[in-house]
């Protein structure tokens, strides 16, 4: 009986979402949800489909985002946390394409803005700028890419909640 009680306690303690630390509270409207694109693209391509799962981990001290594009043809994972030294929300994003990014998230009225630096890529963008807002239950976003010293026009995209969707990150 003691083993059953311990197992149930462990199960429920690992499956209860934590309250975020104060510094990560601006991410709360996005987190604890799985999102799927319903319009637009982050890379300008047609037939773009992104599933992104945002979740609190490590007692609300970290947000993990797992996402996949095109059913898993491309995928990545981000770990977002507060950095006391910099006094900023920072993250690292690692991809199946072999590159990674380091970024800074800035809370703004109604959402967040993101500036990331691409590392380990043999071509393509070296930086990105993007923003995310929650409007009418949807996540609206935009992104711009810096390639060969020139910023692209902004791409726009919209996500809706998709509780049953699962990112294919394998």
Residue by residue, pLDDT tens for the chain (170 residues) are 455 444 444 444 444 456 899 999 999 999 999 999 998 766 556 667 899 999 999 999 999 999 999 888 899 999 999 999 999 999 999 999 999 999 999 999 999 999 999 999 888 899 999 999 999 999 999 999 999 999 999 899 999 999 999 999 88
Judge whether 155 lies within some domain.
yes
Q: Which residues, in sequence order, are CB contacts of 49 under 8 Å at separation 6+?
A: 36, 37, 69, 70, 71
Query: What pLDDT does residue 14 have?
Result: 46
Distance CA 111, CA 106 (A): 9
Count of domains for the chain: 1
Judge whether 99 lies within some domain.
yes
Judge whether 6 lies within some domain.
no
Q: What residue numbers bound the domain in which 154 lies? A: 18-161
Distance CA 39, CA 141 (A): 10
Query: What pLDDT does residue 11 have?
Result: 47
Domain containing 117 — which CATH number? 2.40.128.20
Query: What pLDDT does residue 44 have?
Result: 58
Contact 100, 79 (CB under 8 A): no
Tell me the pTM: 0.85
Judge whether 166 lies within some domain.
no
Distance CA 62, CA 73 (A): 26
Query: What pLDDT does residue 70 have?
Result: 86
Judge whether 1 lies within some domain.
no
């Amino acid at each position: 009986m003691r083993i059953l009680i311990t197992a149930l306690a462990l199960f429920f303690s690992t499956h209860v979402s934590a309250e975020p630390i104060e510094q990560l509270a601006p991410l709360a409207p996005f987190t604890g949800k799985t999102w799927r694109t319903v319009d637009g693209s982050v890379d300008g391509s047609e037939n773009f489909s992104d599933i992104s799962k945002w979740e609190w981990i490590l007692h609300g001290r970290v947000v993990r985002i797992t996402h996949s594009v095109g059913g898993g043809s491309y995928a990545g994972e981000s770990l977002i946390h507060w950095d006391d030294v910099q006094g900023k929300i920072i993250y690292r994003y690692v991809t199946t394409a072999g590159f990674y990014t380091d970024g800074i998230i800035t809370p703004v009225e109604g959402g967040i803005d993101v500036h990331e630096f691409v590392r380990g890529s043999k071509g393509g963008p070296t930086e990105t700028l993007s923003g995310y807002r929650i409007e009418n239950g949807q996540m609206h976003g935009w992104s711009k890419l810096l390639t060969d010293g020139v910023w692209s026009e902004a791409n726009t995209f919209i996500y809706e909640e998709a509780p049953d969707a699962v990112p294919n990150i394998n």
